Each structure stands twice: as structure tokens, then as C-alpha cells.
Structure 1
Amino acid sequence: MTAAPAGARLVHACAGFRGAVSLAVALAVPSAVTEHDLIVFTTAGVIVLTLLLGLFMSAVVRWARLPDDDGPRQEPLLAQTTAAQEARRAARARRAARNGGTGGFAAAQEGRAAPREPARGLAAG
């Protein structure tokens, strides 16, 4: 897996949700702790800074020049390709079964196991 470009990493870092969990943890600290007020104040400051970063998010995204998401365009092509490959495999298996073989050598050459008959006396499925 390759590392994401620097622009994408910056967008992800700026877009994170940090406020809700941080505030919940800060408020869960017992008030008997000597620095309770400082913890809550610091957490509130971080939340405010995070919200202010959100104002600049559109500028960060423009600066990062992220590529368009072409996933929705690629998915139908991938589905058609996969369906065609599976149809060819099924046709080969039917042809091999009709010819009396189980696809042994040809199946091994393709990197897949030959189909097996269910054990006698056991329910199939």
C-alpha cells in the first residue's frame, strides 16, 4: 500500500472529529483532581481551534488539489469484468464435467482447485 499524497494527509488531519470525545473525557475527570479546571479549559481551547480550522477547510482542499473520485464510474466496469470472468470459469467447469474430467490439470494451471464431488453418504450443501 502506498502512502497518501501530502495534500490528502493534510485534509484528513484537518477534517478529524476531535471535540466530542475530548470533551467527554475531560468532563469525566473527577473535580477532586487538582488540575480539573485546566484540563477542561485546555480541551475547550482545542475544540475551538478545531472549529476555526473548519473555516479554512475549503482553502485546504483547493490547495491539496485532490483528484476527482472516479470510483462510481469504475464500479460498473469492474462488475462486468468480474461477471465475465466468473462466467468463463463456470463454462470451463461445465465443459470439463461433461467430458468426464474434473478440470484437474487445466484447473491447476489456472491457479484454482478442481471442483470436488460431495462425499457419499453426506448431505450436499
Structure 2
Amino acid sequence: DIVRGKDPFYGNTHESTQREKLEKNLKDIFEKIHSDVTSGNKGKTLQKRYEGDTDGNYYKLREDWWDANRATIWEAITCNAGGGNRYFRQTACAGTRTNDKCRCQKKDNKPNTDPPTYFDYVPQFLR
């Protein structure tokens, strides 16, 4: 899982090189975020939260970032998925077909923008 910094698929050497490059970029990005959110007086609470997260991977920060942004990311990934896309389950709503991009219609007819949580654990290379 790219957000957590783990990928069970090792693939060929070109992909490994690209993955290492991506991981380095993610570490750099999360290092900047970490230093930004833990600096100054406002960052004292977060300093305590992330005090053990100093191995360079920032796993706690990555998890918090994913928790804060996952709904927006899944909406962006799935909002234009076509009808012929087999990435989505065909049934999920009490045995009925999912016609709304893998989201069951809410009873109040408001859009269901919750991320389909079972995608969180689909290995990255299968997405």
C-alpha cells in the first residue's frame, strides 16, 4: 500500500527502481509535512503524537494523512469510472446491483460519498 509505504509486489527491476524513487519522494514530502506540523507552539500536541515517528518513514503521519484524505481521494479515483469497469463489485446493496459507482443510494437520497473501504486493502499493483 503506497500510503503506508508497503508494497507486496516487487516486479521487475525497472518497476523496483521507480518504486524506490517514489518512496524517496514520499519520504521527502512527509518529512516536510512532519516538520511543518510539529514546529512552533501550535505543533506541541503533534510533537507528542509523532515523537516516535522519526525513522524517516513517518508511518504515523502517513496513517493520519490517509485517514484525513481518503474520502476525497476515493471520490477523485471513482467519480469518472465507466459502466464497463469491472473494478467495482456488481452487488453490494442488499443483493441489488450497484449502479452508482459502487455506492449504495442512501435512504435520504443524498449522495453517498463514503469511500468503499474494501479498496483500502487491494494491493497497489491490482488497482
Q: Same fold (TM over 0.5)?
A: no
Greater relative contact order structure (CA < 8 Å, 6+ sep): 2
Q: TM-score, normalization: structure 1?
A: 0.27
Larger radius of gyration between Structure 1 and Structure 2: 1
